[in-house]
Amino acid sequence: MIQRFIAALSGSPEAQASDFDALALAAAAVLVEAARADDHYTDEEKRLIEDTLRGEFAHTAEDAVRVREMAEARRADAADLHQFTRPLKTLSPYMKDAFVEALWRVVLSDAKRDPWEEMVIRRVCGLIYVSDVDSGKARARAEAALKAR
């Protein structure tokens, strides 16, 4: 308790992270992992991650940037995805589908299907209990949305 209070006064990253919903941070970390899987982390991918945060978690543009940046730092220090997918398991089936669609939009934003990015999505889907069929439907919706832009 005292350490949390000291962290809040010092403005440490732990205090900043407590300002944001843990679910949004977990989702952002998974989106960042998927975007970085092909070793090309573009500004377009960052923008799509921030758009997802604003659309799904009602963050302002500035908050979405901060959450993405915190997620980048947390993901760099993490050993695996389990700590980030655990909170995502609590999403409703509808929200899981929307999240998987957002994952596909991020990785397909460069108009290339990369096996490393697809592997991350398959692993995440398995961890949050989204079937291959539902993931395929989410991919088709993401492809259609990206073509419509």
pTM confidence score: 0.83
Residue 51 confidence (pLDDT): 94
Residue 19 confidence (pLDDT): 41
CB 31 within 8 A of CB 25: no
- Whether residue 57 has pLDDT greater than 70: yes
111 burial via Cβ count (<10 Å: 0-12, 13-18, 19+): exposed
User: What mean pLDDT is predicted for residues 55-70?
Assistant: 90
- Whether residue 1 has pLDDT greater than 60: no
